[in-house]
Structure 1
Amino acid sequence: MRRRILTLTVAAAAAGALAVPGADPAPAAVPVAAVSPARSTPATQITAHFDLAKGQLPENIALGPDGTAYLTFAAARQVAAVDPAGRTRVLATLAAPADGGVATPVLGFALTTGIVRTGDGTLYVLYASGDAASTGLYRMSPGRAPRRIAALPAAGLPNGLALDPTGRTFYVTDSVLGTISTIPLAGGPVRVWSSASALAPTGFLGVNGVKVRGGAVWATNLDQGTLLRIPLRQGRPGAVEVRATGLVGIDDFAFAPDGRIVATLNGPNTVVGIDRDGRARTLLTGADGLQNPTSVAVRGHIILVASAAYTTSTDPNLIVATLRHR
């Protein structure tokens, strides 16, 4: 398993599950082709270190009301909780694929990806195993084992997960198939919502992180380096709007209270803030402890960044930093 992980060129992404109040970015953002090196975030703190050899590579993050960070450990097939003091507790381990030789396309191993936490403490987790009997969306009620509530294509890679609280609908990205699908909160039928070309991979992984905000579905495309907005037209997708370009290796993202989008760039090992005009500025780098950042959550002016160390192969971790006013 470790040898497989260290050969990856960049990480798979998953969308975090945090909805943060704040202004929606302006509808006519101008894409840009480069990230400014300007820094606006002070020194950070690594609040938790994880075990690379055990596959504890944090892929996606959701926050609880008490500040607990809920994480998926990709290669360990685990769901874990990290309390505000940095103590880590494994909550569940999903079963290995029925066929020991089965693996996900492109990546070559089974992994847990997107995660959402609802107000009653229930966790919803995506599992990509390459096995039709286990790939899908899982529900974890407090104190109970994970149970699959929707099957997803084994030939794909379900990755980002977001919940539209008004529609009681999940949006799921598939980075291999280049689609966004919907699943009812209660589970059940999976429907492809969009397969627009802007979601497609161009060599490795396509559509990645996903959020629902301001009457639209927002998503990233890792291969194309883009931030996308798709208006919701009575539940159906409108035309895809490209809000920013030149974001090499963009993975997950979250909205800050001031309207900025905070995004992780996995391969470049940076976290950026994207303004309403689509201009990106560097917030964090490897000098701050990043190790291939995969996902980010925002609460007020605090950001939490999960790093999986897919290619740095050094220190998968969870970082806390303060987001300064611009």
Structure 2
Amino acid sequence: MPRLPRPAGAAAVALALGLVAAAPAAGQEPLVTDARVLAHLDLAAGQTPENIALDQDGSAYLTFASARQVAHVTDDGRVRTRATLPAVAHAATPLLHSAAVTGIARAHDGTLYVNYATGTSATGVWRLSPGDAPERIAALPADGLPNGLALDERRGVLYVADSVRGTVWRVPLSGGTATAWARGAALAPLPAAPAGGFGANGVKLHRDAVWVSNTDRGTLLRIPVRADGAAGPVETRAGGLAGIDDFAFPGHGRSVLAALNPGNRVVLVRADGTVTTLLTVREGLSGPTSVAVRGRSVYVPSAASATRHDPNLLLARLRHLIGRG
């Protein structure tokens, strides 16, 4: 999610010291190699990538939050605008104060779904069918902040993480009424400073469970999907992940690649809670917002919300697949 500017100095140092990620042990080969910036983006044009969905050919779709755009980035780094969400008069999105396109998901037929946060009646989930203009398929509360988006084609639903209301919304893929699928303190932002106001942020469907990151609390959560589609109890799977934004699964297990936005890191969080730094500013990160994995390819968009320098899309390679750990 786009991050609010944070004060420099002692607070920034404290935040950096609070990160639990650690470098690989001496002599240990890095898990991620061949990192390079696939596409440098234009900050002045609002090309601040918030979320990512991959096409079958390995190209990427990015949401440009502040430009209200969805863009397509080819495997050779060319950037083309796919769609622009309609402008909204008197946008008043909580925390952001302006309209923003946030989470994105892609269906097998090429249809794209995005969250549009505006602080108005235009807030909701929008569909971008190939060749068609964007259309809203479900309304969401104007006083919320729909952030991450996950698609479950088997059940025909979308899951939306609302950062302000501490709720995971469930939306029919065909459109219609959104229902509050899961909520509670574990999904909510912290009630007082130094909280940034961002609770539930990234969301992914993985092995019959919905996983959610909570930015303020630095946690990674798992919510089982019961046989009837209802939410099971919220489980905390990892903590101490300061500034966690969105994330991805690099295999069939419970290990996660997570973007730590203000810390300019992508880390591997294993099922046992071990955290290892994989990518940093040295590889080109500049406020990473999300992660996507296809095979052994790792994609990381950086929005440069705090650094104000070089928003980009980074591409790297896993040295080996991560098993069920």
Q: Quick check: TM above 0.5?
A: yes
CA distance in 2, matches of 1:235, 1:6: 32
Whether 1:275 aligns to 2:275 is no
Measured on the aligned residues, the alpha-carbon RMSD in Å equals 1.6
Is 1:117–2:103 an aligned residue pair?
Answer: no
Match of 2:95 among 103, 106, 114: 106
Give the structure 1 partner of residue 283 of structure 2. Answer: 288
- State yes or no: 1:70 paired with 2:70: no
Which of the numbers 198, 205, 209 marks the counterpart of 1:205? 198
Shift of 1:36: 2.0
Q: Which residue of 2 aligns with 1:93?
A: 84
Q: Distance in 2 between matches of 1:120 and 1:163?
A: 13
| Cα distance between partner residues in 2 of 1:253 and 1:6 | 16
Structure with the bigger RCO (C-alpha within 8 Å, sep 6+) is 1
Q: CA deviation at 1:77?
A: 0.3
Mark the runs of 5 or more structure 1 residues left unpaired by the alignment. 11-32
So what's the TM-score if we normalise by structure 2?
Answer: 0.88
Matched, 1:188 2:182: no
Does the Cα contact within 8 Å between 1:46 and 1:317 map onto a contact in 2?
yes
Aligned to 1:9: 6
Structure 1 residues 303 and 153, CA, compared in 2 at 3 Å: closer, same or farther?
same
Range with greater deviation from structure 2 (272-281 or 311-320) = 272-281
**Distance between the aligned counterparts of 1:180 and 1:40, measured in 2?**
32
Give, in whole Å, the separation in 2 of the partners of 1:42 and 1:163.
29
Gaps of 5+ in 2: 8-18, 25-29
The letter of the residue matching 2:120 is D
Give the alignment's TM-score, normalised by structure 1: 0.88
Q: Report percent identity of matched pairs.
A: 55
Separation of aligned partners in 2, 1:190 and 1:6: 26
Q: How many Å separate the matches in 1 of 2:73 and 2:109? A: 18
Aligned residues: 297
User: For 1:175 and 1:258, how far apart are their aligned partners in 2?
Assistant: 27
Task: Give 1:208 shift.
Answer: 0.5
- Larger mean CA deviation between 64-73 and 251-260 belongs to 251-260
Q: Which residue of 1 aligns with 2:240?
A: 246
Query: Which 10-residue stretch deviates more, 227-236 or 75-84?
Result: 227-236
Secondary structure in 2 matching 1:47: strand
Distance 2:280 2:138 in 1: 37
Task: Quote the residue 2:251 is aligned against.
Answer: 257
Alpha-carbon distance in 1 for matches of 2:208, 2:23: 32
The residue that corresponds to 1:27 in the other structure is none
Runs of 4+ in 1 over 3 A off after TM superposition: none
Question: Which residue matches 2:162?
Answer: 174
Q: Cα deviations across residues 150-196 of structure 1 (Å, max 9, x unaligned)?
A: 11111010001001122111110100111001000001011001112
Task: Give, in whole Å, the separation in 1 of the partners of 2:6 and 2:302.
Answer: 15
User: Once the 2 structures are TM-superposed, how far is the Cα of residue 323 of structure 1 from its aligned partner?
Assistant: 1.4
Shift of residue 9, structure 1, vs aligned partner: 3.4
SS in 2 for 1:177: coil
